[in-house]
A and B are shown apart, each in its own frame.
Chain A
Amino acid sequence: MAQTSSHALADTTVIDTDVHITVEEETIAEYLDEPYRSSILDSPHPVFPSSSWDQRMGGKIDDHFSTFTGPADIRQFQSDFNIDYPIINTFEPLGKFSQPDLAMSLMRAYNDLLMDRFLDDYDFLGLAAVATQKPAEAAEEIDRMGDEDQIVGIYLGTSGEYPPLGDPSNDPIYKAAEDNGLPVVFHGNGDEFMFDFPHHNKGFNNYFEVQTLGHPWQQMATMSSLIGEGVPAKFPDLDFVFLEAGIGWVPYMMHRMNKIYRMRRSEVPLLEKSPEEYVRDQFYIGSQPLGEPNGAEDMKRMIETLGADLLMFATDYPHWDFDHLEELDKYLQHYFSEEERQKILYETPVEAFNLDL
Chain B
Amino acid sequence: MSEHTVSTVDEIQDGERKLVEVEGREIAIFRLDGEFYAYTNWCAHQGGPACEGSVTGTRNAEFDREELETDLEWCKEDEILNCPWHGWEYDIPSGDCLSRDGTKLPGHPVKVEEQEIIVSL
Q: A residues engaging B (CB < 8 A)?
A: 168, 171-172, 175, 230, 233-235, 261-267, 269-270, 273-274
A262 and B59 within 8 A (CB): no
Name B88's closest neighbour in chain A (CB-CB): A262
Is chain A's interface secondary structure helix, strand, loop, or mixed overall?
Answer: helix
B58 and A266 within 8 A (CB): yes
B68 and A265 within 8 A (CB): no
Is chain B's interface secondary structure helix, strand, loop, or mixed overall?
Answer: loop
B89 contact from A168, A171, A230, A265, Cβ within 8 A:
A265
A263 and B70 within 8 A (CB): no
Report the minimum CB–CB distance from B48 to chain A (whole Å). 12
B60 and A263 within 8 A (CB): no
Assess whether B4 is interfacial by the CB under 8 Å rule. no
Q: What separation, in Å, do the CA atoms of A304 and B110 have in the docked complex? A: 46
B63 and A230 within 8 A (CB): yes
Name B56's closest neighbour in chain A (CB-CB): A266
B65 and A269 within 8 A (CB): no
B68 contact from A175, A264, A269, Cβ within 8 A:
A175
Q: What separation, in Å, do the CA atoms of A341 and B52 have in the docked complex? A: 51
- A262-B88, A263-B88 as given contacts; A175 in contact with B100, CB under 8 Å: no
> Which residues of B sit under 8 angstroms from A171, Cβ to Cβ?
68
B87 contact from A172, A230, A264, A269, Cβ within 8 A:
A264
Name B80's closest neighbour in chain A (CB-CB): A266
B65 and A234 within 8 A (CB): yes
> Which residues of B sit under 8 angstroms from A172, Cβ to Cβ?
68
Q: What separation, in Å, do the CA atoms of A55 and B86 have in the docked complex? A: 44
- A168-B68, A171-B68, A262-B100 as given contacts; A270 in contact with B63, CB under 8 Å: yes
| Interface size counted on chain B using CB atoms at 8 A | 18
Closest 6 A/B residue pairs (Cβ)? A262-B99, A269-B61, A171-B68, A266-B58, A266-B59, A270-B61
B70 and A270 within 8 A (CB): yes
Q: What separation, in Å, do the CA atoms of A262 and B100 have in the docked complex? A: 7
Question: Can you pick out 9 interface pairs between chain A and chain B where the beta carbons lie within 8 Å of each other?
Answer: A171-B68, A233-B63, A234-B70, A261-B99, A263-B87, A263-B88, A266-B58, A266-B89, A269-B61
Report the minimum CB–CB distance from A157 to chain B (whole Å). 23
Counted as pairs of residues, one from A and one from B, with CB atoms less than 8 Å apart, the total is: 45
Residues 77-91 of chain B, each 1 if its beta carbon lies under 8 Å from chain A, else 0: 000000000111100
Q: What separation, in Å, do the CA atoms of A40 and B63 have in the docked complex? A: 42
> Which residues of B sit under 8 angstroms from A274, Cβ to Cβ?
100-101
Assess whether B72 is interfacial by the CB under 8 Å rule. yes
Report the minimum CB–CB distance from B63 to chain A (whole Å). 5
> Which residues of A sit under 8 angstroms from B58, Cβ to Cβ?
265-266, 269
Q: Taking A175-B68, A263-B87, A274-B100 as given, write out 10 further A-B residue pairs in contact, using a Cβ cutoff of 8 Å, ordered by the A residue number.
A: A175-B65, A230-B70, A233-B63, A234-B63, A234-B65, A261-B99, A262-B45, A269-B60, A269-B72, A274-B101
- A234-B63, A269-B61 as given contacts; A262 in contact with B86, CB under 8 Å: yes
> Which residues of B sit under 8 angstroms from A269, Cβ to Cβ?
58-61, 72
- A168-B68, A168-B70 as given contacts; A265 in contact with B61, CB under 8 Å: no
Assess whether B98 is interfacial by the CB under 8 Å rule. yes
> Which residues of B sit under 8 angstroms from A264, Cβ to Cβ?
87
Report the minimum CB–CB distance from B46 to chain A (whole Å). 11
> Which residues of B sit under 8 angstroms from A273, Cβ to Cβ?
101
> Which residues of B sit under 8 angstroms from A168, Cβ to Cβ?
68, 70
Residues 98-116 of chain B, each 1 if its beta carbon lies under 8 Å from chain A, else 0: 1111000000000000000
